[in-house]
Every structure is written in structure tokens, then in C-alpha cells.
Structure 1
Amino acid sequence: MGGRVGAVHGHKKVLVIGGAIYVLFNLISGFMRTVPTIIVMRALSGVGAGIIVPNAIALLTTSFPPGIGRLIWVGLFGAMAPVGAGGGSIFPGFFGQLLPWWWLFFFFAIAGAVVFTAAAILVPSEEVTMDPNGKVDYIGSYFGVGGLILFNCAWTEAAIKGWKVDYVYIILIFSVLHIALFLLWEAKFAKEPVLPLSVWSAPSFKPMLLSAFFTFMSTGILFYYITRWHVDIRHFSNLLNAAAFATFTVTATVACGISAICVRYMPAQLVMAIGTVSALVAGILLATMPVHQNYWPQEFPALFILGFSPDFIFTAAQIITSNSVKRNLQGVAGSLVGTIQLYGLGTGLGFAGTIEIYTNRHGADPIGGIRHALWFSVALAAAATLMCVLIRIPKDEREGWDEDEVEGHA
């Protein structure tokens, strides 16, 4: 939805609004002292982040036509995820151990204010929005976003309460109804759909997105349960846990640049397969770690290899998607891949958490529960790898926009 709003009203304008939302609710989070209020404020700050990502991608992909320039800049954008993940591990440890925890949220608000103020001043404004006469399909957006949120809530609650409580089933049923109504509305009634059918017309587009979704589910599970393993099983401090992820941060940052170049010179299915196989191998190494083994024999190579997974998948999927649609749909493309990434990272934990609580013998075998969740991530990565066989997207060696796109935006 964020990308579509940006296409109609201006990607820079919407990006700045998203930044303001992010800063405001992180600032409010710093004053909260109860878990429910912190959860609500953090969720609202996530709305800002969800608006920022597709519009930032759209500004890049509309500023740089298909070609080597786009590859480099999208690769650099993708590199910010592991850099942010590394910082996201260090700063909570720092604030959690050395300062009151709520200063973490004040830090996010201050840093966000600096970054987004700079963006508002320095990023050039669009002379003409991508779709100035278009409209946002708010009804379709409600059904689509509502269905995804409810589905995620159902599985997250199931991981906490189990499937023995009735309201989990009710939430799940409502989520399915919302998604069904979204598909019906988009296909039959929407004049300007949130996801135009042309977005799905590229060859092998659906298996590519499904493979990416499964891989992000797998990596999200690995990130969470590696942290659980550090803190609950090996009793790492917050800062030591952050240090353990340094391997992933460095490798993933380098992998973004490599993946951006690989997309140009290698078949898409092979680029995607590198990402899925990396998650598969890393998951196997982590799921088979002895409890008291030190960091170097298995965890170090696992995190090194894992660095090639989310960034190869994100950069490849984003570039392929952006190159598959016209200039005025770049925001939609950014929203789609961003949704696949964020929803995969979050939703996988609901499934894995359900597996954990039903296999840890009511808490008597916490290590067994974590291992079963890790093996589930391996299964997801294996399924994503098999889907790569179905992907047949030719290398895109274009330089510049097609003539009709240049004329249409003139």
C-alpha cells in the first residue's frame, strides 16, 4: 500500500511522512513503562518503517533506469539491512547493560530525526508523481493488510497460547475471509487495484516470490533462535550476543554488492538458489550444534554462510521485480518485495514457535524445542531451493528505460 500511495502523491513526500511516524512513535515508546503500551507504540513505529522502505526503493529505481547504476544502488540499499541488523544487535546490548533500557527508543528517535530531516532537505523532489491522476484502493488495502495482520496474529498467539484457545481459530478464520475478499475485490471490483495484474505477468514471477518468502521465513527463524540459543542456553550477555552476529553483518554487507552484479551476469534461478542454499546449509549447521560447543566449529561458518542468504534473495528479488514492471509501478514493486521480506521474517516465527511449544515437553526440554524449530527453518529453505527449479527469468542486460516509458513520463 505504501508504494501505491507514493505513486499517487509523491514518493519523497510519503517517505518523509513515514519517517515522521517512525520518529514520533519511537519517541513515545521511550516514555512507556508497560509491555502492552510498548508493543502498541513499537507497532505504530513499524507502520512508519513500512511506508519508508517501498518509497525509498521507488526513489532509487525511478532515478536509475535498468542497468549497472540501478544494480549498484539497490545493492547498497540492500546492504543497509545487515548493517542495521548489526547495529540493532549492538545498541540494545549497550543500552540494556549500561543505561536504562528506554534510552534505546530515544536514540532511535534522535537518529531517525537526523536521517529523515536530511532526506527531506537533500533528496530531490519529483517534478511529476508517477501516477498523478491515479487513486489509492483503500478498500482493497484494508482487506489485504487486514488479512495479513490477522493471519500473523493467529499464528503468533498460537505460539504463546497454543491451539487450545478458541479465539486463535476465530482470528485465523477472519484472516482467511479478509484475504478471500481481497482477491475477489481486486479481481472483480477494484478500478485501480493495489497490485495490478501486470505485476504478475513476468515469467516465473510467482515461484520467485514464493521462494523468497520461504527463505525469509527460514532466516527469520534462524535469527531469533540463534539469539535464544545464545541467551537461554549459553548464557551470553547482550553485548556478547551482538559480537557473535558480527560475522553475519560483515558477510551480508559484502554479499549485497556481489548479488547485485550476479543478477546481471547469471540466470535469476541461480542467484536465488545461492540465497536459498545458504539458508539451508546454515540451518543444518545450527540445528546440529552440540549444546556446549564453542563458537568457531559450527556457529561461525553457519553465520558466515547465512550472510549470503537474505541479501542475495532481497537484492535479486528487488532488482528482478523492478526490472519486470514499468516506471510508474516501481513503488508497487518495492511494496511487494518489502512485504514479502518483512512478512516472511515475522510470520515464520509464529509457525516455529508453535512447533517449539508442542515439542519441548511442556518446557522440560527447551533445547529439543529450539532444535525442532531450527529444523523447520531447514525444511523451509529446502522447499525454497526446490522452487528455484521452476524459475526461468532471463538475464536483463538493458541499459536505460524503454522508449514508451520515457515518453509516458515526459
Structure 2
Amino acid sequence: MTPSTPAALSPGPRLAPPATRMSARQRLVLVLLLTASFTLAVDFSILNVALPAIGDEIGFGLDTLQWVVTSFALCAAGFTLLFGRIGDVLGRRRLFVLGMAVLGIGSLLGGFATTPAVLLIARVLQGMATAAVVPAALSLLTTSFAEGRLREKALGLNGALMAAGFTTGAILGGVLTDLLSWRWAFFLNVPVALAVVVLAPLVVAESRPAHRSRMDVPGAITVTAALLFIVYGLSSAAQTSWTTPLTVGSLVGGAALLVVFGQLERRAQHPLVPIAVLRRSTIAWGNIAGMLAFVTETSLVFLLTLYLQKTLGYSPLMAGLSFAVLGIGTVLGGMVGPLLIGRWGTKTAIVGGFLVQAAATGSLLFLGTTGSSLALLLVATFVGGVANLIVIVGFMVTATAGLTDAEQGLATGLATMSQQVGITLGIPIMSAIVAARVHALGSETGETMLIGVLAAIGVNTALCLVAALAVGLFLKAPSRLMD
């Protein structure tokens, strides 16, 4: 049963039964928003396989190549909460269109880049566009569909395509690099961005609160700086270690700024993130569940990429194609998720999804050094992909439930931040575990890499179980929070 919102905090009366079918206009809105979200999800991973080719052609050294990924992640995660709130104030459609225009410009610049500086500027523009477009698109989606079955279906499709986009990026990056050029990873965005910029004002209605509130400038600066420090520290850990002064300093500095941000929000007249919102179980535990869902699944893709290439000897292209079944699983999970939520509720769906994901991930502990393990990998990633998307749909529904349209920018900004920090957080953690085990065994071989990967898979499985337990114990239904 879908949780209901009490009339006291509802944006309007709920006397009429909710619609059960999308209108033609809603379908157009959904297609447009999902196209933009899918394109940006692809951008998260499309250059990972192409990094060596980019380094050789543009002139990046081994010590600077990681900035192609880090510059994007810094901006995508660091500015998302700020842009989510800006969308509430200035208009979400306006921010959405502007963000897609910036994406097109950045992608065109990246495709023609001939120096490291120009390529990094392009990646910064893409990251900023992602920080603006993803929460704006999610806000436009939640305000276009009333809370209930249609919103759950729309969020399910959105979650499926976002996760499928991450997987598709890994595959598409290998295909483009091998058959054409890494530059097409940038050029493909340009016609998509142009089409969305032209069509969005014609199809999507503007969405903003009736009364504009003043921006919390000190809070915005502080939380953005905190997220930049934290994401940089996580990215640094992935490239060096968790104990370097730069990594430790960045993480400690980010944590300190978050404490300062909390104090500022308690005193601000128009806070960027009202503390009362963060105290709601649906917001707090919904976002924790979402973050852990992205931590576990995106880092598992990284671990299995290492396994396929370092242990089984697959090429980047073949390793990428091996994740096609994961992409199919995520799409199926996005379709099944809303049905399960409608039948059992978000809490049961999230807990059940994490438990099934834990079982699928745990089965990968039986991977070996021969190609016969590929069948196990394909089945496990398919089942895990379905379960992970059920969790993600449950997270999106939970984290945006029981809020007025005026609060949807804040809710979707928090949800997007959880997603992007989760993507950034998982790989450094799992990479450190693999590196520690391989180092302890003396040298990097196919066998030692397998041992390291299995150790990280064990931790990944444990995180899924801990997440299921925490959500089961602490997540409350939205209706209990609005009394």
C-alpha cells in the first residue's frame, strides 16, 4: 500500500482518487526528463574505459589522468544541493534547460579538446550541468505526477534508466574507443542536449513555489565547500591511500564544514536545508538507504571489471559487454519496483531488495580463475541488478514522500546528492580493500587480484545486510511523521 500524506501537510485536498493512467502530456514530459537523466548517467562512466587513450592523445600523465574523472565528480556531487535549492527559487524548468545547454557546450568543448586544460574545463562544465539537471529533472518529475502509483511508476523508470545509464556508459565507452574515437563520448551529448533545450519549454510546465524565499548564501557556500572537500578526499583515496595527509585533511575539513553548516542552518531565517526536514525518518533513512545502494552496486561493477580484466584477461570492450545483463536487470528492477512498493510498501521493498542483493553479491565469493565462472557472474549481476533497482526506486519514493511541491527541490537535491556521493564513495573503499589484500600477498597476479576482489565482495555483501537491518529498524512510514 502506498503511504498516504495527512491533509495537514498536503499541498492540497486529496478527495478525488488519484489518476491511474498517464496523460499524453505526462508521457512527453516523462520521455524528455528520462532522456536527459539517462544521458547524464552515461556520462558518469563513459570515459572510464577510454582514460588510457585520452592520456596518450591529449598528454595527461599517469599522476594527472584521474582528474578527468575527479573534476566531473567534484562538481556533480559538490554543487547538487545548491542547485536543487536554486531550482526551488528561480524555477526548476529554467534551471533544467540552462543545465542542458551547459552540458551541450561542455561536451562540444571536450570533443574538440587538444590540451589537458581544455578537457578538464569541459569535464567541469559537464559536472556542473549534472549538478543542475539531475535534481531539477527529478523535481519536475515529482511535481508532474501526484504522490501515488503514477509517481512510483515514473520514479521506477527514472531509477532504472539512471542505473542502466551507468552500465551503458561502461559498454559504450569501450565500443566508441575501439571503433571510432573517445571524442564521440563527448559529441553524442550535443544533439541530445540541443533537442532537450528546444523541446523542454514547449512540453514541460514551469515549477516553482508561489512565494520566493531568500537564498541562504552562507549555508550554500559552506555545504558546497564541505561536499567538495569530501568528494576530493574520496577521489584522492582512490588514487593514493586513505592515510595520506591530503586525503585525511580533505575528509576532516569536509566533516568540520558540515558541522559548521549544521550550526548555520539552525540559526538561518531561510535555511538551505531546514533541520526539521532532516529529522524526518523518510528523509534521513531514505537517503542513507539510497547512498548505500549506490555505494554497493557501482563499486561492485568496479570490482568485477578488475576481475574480468586482471584475472580472466578480458579486453576492456569484452569486460564492458559482460555487464549488459546487469543493465537488463536494472531496467527490469525499475519496472518491478513500483509494483512491489504498491503491494508491500516502501520499507518492505527496500529491506527485501537489500537482502536479495546481498545474496546475489555473496554468491560471487565462489568466483574462480577460469572462464567457467562467467556464468555465475552473469546470473548474480542480473539478480543483484533487479534487487538494487527495487531499493533505488524505494529510496526515491521514500525520500520525496510527504512533502509539498515547494519542498521537492530540496528533497530531490538531497536524493541526488546521496546518489552521487554514493557513486563516489564506493570505489575508493573497495579499491583500498583490494589494494591492501594484494599488497599483503606480495605481488599483483591474476590469483592475488582475485583474492583481493573477493575480500571486497565480502565487505560489499556485509554492507547490503547492514543496510537491510538499519532500514528495517529505523525507517518509519511517512504517515507517522506528519502528525
Give the TM-score normalised by the residue count of structure 1.
0.88
Contact 1:208 1:387 in 2 (8 A): no
| 2:260 aligned with 1:260 | no
2: distance between equivalents of 1:36 and 1:353?
27
* Cα drift, residue 183 of structure 1: 1.1
Deviations 1:206-259 (A, max 9, x none): 333323322221112101111222223223234322321221112211211221
Aligned pairs (5 A) from 1:356-367:
356-361=434-439, 363-364=443-444, 365-367=448-450
Aligned twin of 1:276: 354
Contact 2:347 2:477 in 1 (8 A): no
SS in 2 for 1:393: coil
Aligned residue pair count: 394
1: distance between equivalents of 2:415 and 2:202?
27
Aligned twin of 1:384: 467
Q: 1:97 to 1:271 in 2, by over 3 A?
A: same
Aligned pairs (5 A) from 1:333-344:
333-344=411-422
Q: 1:117 to 1:236 in 2, by over 3 A?
A: farther
Aligned pairs (5 A) from 1:393-408:
393-394=476-477
Aligned partner letter, 1:384 = A
Aligned partner letter, 1:287 = L
Q: 1:195 to 1:359 in 2, by over 3 A?
A: same
Aligned twin of 2:177: 96
Aligned twin of 2:424: 346
Contact 2:293 2:392 in 1 (8 A): no
Aligned twin of 1:169: 248
Contact 1:15 1:55 in 2 (8 A): yes
* Cα drift, residue 12 of structure 1: 0.3
Aligned twin of 2:101: 20
Aligned twin of 1:406: none
| 2:225 aligned with 1:150 | no
Deviations 1:63-87 (A, max 9, x none): 2211222222222222221342343
SS in 2 for 1:247: helix
Q: 1:373 to 1:37 in 2, by over 3 A?
A: farther
| 2:140 aligned with 1:59 | yes
Specify which of 327, 330, 333 is matched with residue 249 of structure 1.
Answer: 327
Deviations 1:131-159 (A, max 9, x none): 54212223212221221221222232123
Q: 1:162 to 1:203 in 2, by over 3 A?
A: closer
| 2:367 aligned with 1:289 | yes
Comparing 102-111 with 292-301, greater Cα deviation is found at 292-301
Aligned twin of 2:72: none
* Cα drift, residue 270 of structure 1: 1.1
Contact 2:85 2:409 in 1 (8 A): yes
Contact 1:221 1:352 in 2 (8 A): yes
Deviations 1:254-274 (A, max 9, x none): 211221122222132211112
| 2:467 aligned with 1:374 | no
| Structure 1 gap segments, 5+ residues each | 397-401, 403-410
SS in 1 for 2:126: helix
Aligned partner letter, 1:346 = T
1: distance between equivalents of 2:100 and 2:273?
24
Contact 1:276 1:309 in 2 (8 A): yes
Contact 1:202 1:324 in 2 (8 A): no
Contact 1:16 1:116 in 2 (8 A): yes
Aligned partner letter, 2:392 = F
* Cα drift, residue 395 of structure 1: 7.8
Give the percent of matched residue pairs that are identical in Structure 1 and Structure 2: 21
Aligned partner letter, 1:322 = T
Q: 1:102 to 1:354 in 2, by over 3 A?
A: same
Aligned pairs (5 A) from 1:31-46:
31-33=112-114, 38-39=119-120, 41-46=122-127
Comparing 30-39 with 345-354, greater Cα deviation is found at 30-39
Aligned partner letter, 1:182 = F
* Cα drift, residue 330 of structure 1: 0.9
Contact 1:268 1:391 in 2 (8 A): no
2: distance between equivalents of 1:68 and 1:172?
40
2: distance between equivalents of 1:90 and 1:164?
33
* Cα drift, residue 363 of structure 1: 4.6
Q: 1:232 to 1:117 in 2, by over 3 A?
A: farther
Deviations 1:190-213 (A, max 9, x none): 222222234235345433332332
* Cα drift, residue 379 of structure 1: 2.2
Deviations 1:334-382 (A, max 9, x none): 1111111111111121222222222211653333332222222122212
Aligned pairs (5 A) from 1:177-256:
177-188=256-267, 190-203=268-281, 205-256=283-334
Contact 2:110 2:123 in 1 (8 A): yes
Deviations 1:312-353 (A, max 9, x none): 122112112222212210111111111111111111212222
Aligned partner letter, 2:275 = L
* Cα drift, residue 13 of structure 1: 0.2
Aligned twin of 2:30: none
Aligned partner letter, 1:170 = G
Q: 1:180 to 1:297 in 2, by over 3 A?
A: same
2: distance between equivalents of 1:164 and 1:395?
41
Contact 1:270 1:388 in 2 (8 A): no
1: distance between equivalents of 2:356 and 2:191?
36
Aligned twin of 1:408: none
Contact 2:235 2:428 in 1 (8 A): yes
2: distance between equivalents of 1:98 and 1:321?
41
Aligned partner letter, 1:191 = Q
Aligned twin of 1:321: 399
Comparing 379-388 with 113-122, greater Cα deviation is found at 113-122
Specify which of 110, 114, 121 is matched with residue 191 of structure 2.
Answer: 110
RMSD value, Cα: 2.4
2: distance between equivalents of 1:297 and 1:133?
55
SS in 1 for 2:372: coil
1: distance between equivalents of 2:139 and 2:457?
35
* Cα drift, residue 19 of structure 1: 0.9
Give the TM-score normalised by the residue count of structure 2.
0.76
2: distance between equivalents of 1:314 and 1:73?
13
